[in-house]
Amino acid sequence: MQSSRLLAILLRLQAQGRVSAQALAEALEVSVRTVYRDIDALSAAGVPVYAEKGRRGGFVLREGYRTRLTGLDRPEAETLFFAGAPFAAEQLGLGAVLETTRLKLLAALPEAMQQDAQRVASRFHLDPVAWFQGPEAQGLLPELATAVWTGRMLQLHYRRWQGEVERRVAPLGLVLKAGLWYLVAAAGSQVRSYRVSAILAMTVEDELAPALPGFELQRYWQQFCADYEARMASGRARVRVHPAALRRLSELSLAVARAVADATPPAAAEAWWELEIPIESIPAAVGELLRLGPQVQALEPPELRQALAEAVLRLQAIYPPRVNSENS
């Protein structure tokens, strides 16, 4: 609806200052032409919005202008408590602050909306930690978060799989991914991601971190995840799978699930399937396929077949067949 879109543009300009037409179009999921029409409608309604040209141009409100159209409607009140993530706030050291904020917002609502918000909040719980996992120890996270918020340079003592390293970085943001925290930071001219639990020690410097023009945390993380998943599935293997094991094979990863969904079923209902699946590496594929037991057979590449055969022999050496003494 145009009215809600106009309000969204107005609030975004008030909160962010200068915003480009392209950024507004992406945020509102409309065309740039629609954004220009909406800006014209706001201007015609007396809102002092104007355009600034140039490379860093965009739409801005006249200095000092503030809209008062900020009241919550019923659906907004009902979704109020989805915005707070208690798990994340607690690990950041902001649990008490979040609770105080929640109570203040709740008290500011009309009584009917208070009941709606509390009803929704009581029926939703966010648990971001995967099954059979516990939250990682995050002793440095509150101090790290403060450094990120204030934009201070960091000296990290970091554990990588190759060994421990020292890094001096400019923090750009924090990301919570499936219960795991990551620091996104610029190391020299490169933006990298660091698992917070692998930071062994940290020094926050007084020097302010330089800004990185054009950097957007959400966009970077989306691209990072896509690139990482592509790297983790760069190899290929051909396998035979019993129908009973298809579901468990699909659960290995989203890329494998897509391969199973795209595979051509055999003519007979009970026949084994043959399909190609993505793999990260030969050692990683060995571990994953062994979990599925004899209902999955690797056909290619030969290196994978050989590695699986050697792994089975090593297992057999640990667990030799039991000899029946009556037949010996």
Q: How far apart are CA 121 and CA 114, in angstroms?
A: 10
Distances in whole angstroms, Cα of residue 319 to Cα of each of 255, 286, 323, 327? 34, 18, 12, 20
Q: How far apart are CA 189 and CA 222, in angstroms?
A: 20
Angle ∠(111,104,124) on CA atoms, nearest 5: 75
Q: How many domains, the chain?
A: 4
Q: Per-residue confidence at 81, pLDDT binned at 50, 70, 90? A: low
Distances in whole angstroms, Cα of residue 16 to Cα of each of 8, 80, 207, 263? 12, 21, 26, 48
Same domain for 147 and 212: yes
- Extract the runs of DSSP E, i.e. beta strands, from 53-108: 58-61
Q: Average pLDDT in the 127-133 region?
A: 77
Q: Is residue 185 part of a domain?
A: yes
Question: Which tens digits make up the pLDDT trace of 300-313?
Answer: 999 999 999 999 99
Q: Is residue 327 part of a domain?
A: no
Is the predicted pLDDT of residue 23 greater than 60, yes or no? yes
- The neighbour count for residue 235, using CB atoms within 10 Å, is 16
Q: Average pLDDT in the 143-171 region?
A: 92
CATH code (residue 176)? 2.30.30
Contact predicate 259/241, CB 8 Å = no
In 3D space, the residue among 7, 4, 148, 3 whose CA is nearest the CA of residue 69 turns out to be 7
**Radius of gyration over every alpha carbon of the chain, rounded to an integer in angstroms:** 27
Same domain for 223 and 249: no
In 3D space, the residue among 196, 195, 179, 197 whose CA is nearest the CA of residue 131 turns out to be 179
| pTM (predicted TM-score) | 0.65
Same domain for 258 and 222: no
Same domain for 106 and 85: yes
Q: Is residue 70 part of a domain?
A: no
Q: Is residue 147 part of a domain?
A: yes
Q: How far apart are CA 81 and CA 138, in angstroms?
A: 24
Q: How far apart are CA 43 and CA 238, in angstroms?
A: 62
Residue 110: give the domain boundaries: 79-122
Same domain for 208 and 171: yes
Is the predicted pLDDT of residue 148 greater than 90, yes or no? yes
Same domain for 118 and 177: no
Same domain for 96 and 114: yes
pLDDT for residue 288: 92
Same domain for 240 and 199: no
Higher pLDDT, 67 or 63: 63
Question: Would you say the C-alpha torsion 137, 142, 143, 147 has a positive or negative sign?
Answer: positive
- Proportion of the chain above pLDDT 90, given as a percent: 42
Same domain for 311 and 239: yes
CATH code (residue 21)? 1.10.10.10
Q: Average pLDDT in the 64-71 region?
A: 65
- The neighbour count for residue 58, using CB atoms within 10 Å, is 18
Last residue of a domain, one of 228, 261, 283: 228
Last residue of a domain, one of 201, 228, 255: 228
Q: Read off the amino acid at residue 11.
A: L
245's tokens: 């094991």
Higher pLDDT, 233 or 212: 212
Same domain for 36 and 21: yes
pLDDT for residue 83: 58
Higher pLDDT, 86 or 313: 313
